[in-house]
């Protein structure tokens, strides 16, 4: 990217890099994320900011995308618990995330760097 004089880096983080997992929604589903997941996702968010600052002026943009839960035929009780924590009352679809991803890597966001785009149906806004 330095050699080409431009580039875009997008790190995929998670809402659990920003807020703690709400253990109450998981019940006995076995889906609980562990502490290593949260730590690594928080690290990706701040690494993105750091790299955006480090490469400032070099025409390299660095951002992160923090999705909420994506529906993938999870346990019905878990899905209901999850949906009740979101403002739009649903989990994400792959399309919800791909649209955000395309924005961050395209020229539509050519003035965006050091940013963490949260796509979570309002999960982290409560």
- Of the residues 37, 50, 82, 103, only one is catalytic, namely 37
Where exactly are the structural domains of the chain? 7-125
Position 67 pLDDT exceeds 90: yes
Q: What is the pairing mode between strands 116-119 and 60-67?
A: parallel
Which tens digit of pLDDT belongs to each residue from 113-122? 999 999 999 9
CATH number of 7-125: 3.40.50.720
Q: How far is CA 3 from CA 6, 56, 58, 61, 112, in A?
A: 8, 15, 10, 15, 21
Helix (H) or strand (E) holding 64: strand 60-67
Q: pLDDT higher for 117 or 34?
A: 117
Whether residue 37 lies in the annotated active site: yes
């Amino acid at each position: 990217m330095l050699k080409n004089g431009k580039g875009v880096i997008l790190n995929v983080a998670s809402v659990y890099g920003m807020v703690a997992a709400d253990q109450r929604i998981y019940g006995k589903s076995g889906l609980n994320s562990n502490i290593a997941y949260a730590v690594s996702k928080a690290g990706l968010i701040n690494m993105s900011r750091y790299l955006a600052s480090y490469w400032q002026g070099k025409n390299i943009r660095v951002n992160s995308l923090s999705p909420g839960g994506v529906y993938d035929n999870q346990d019905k009780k878990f899905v209901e618990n999850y949906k009740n924590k979101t403002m739009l009352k649903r989990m994400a679809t792959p399309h919800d995330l791909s649209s955000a991803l395309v924005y961050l890597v395209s020229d539509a966001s050519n003035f965006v760097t050091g940013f963490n785009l949260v796509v979570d149906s309002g999960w982290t806004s409560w």
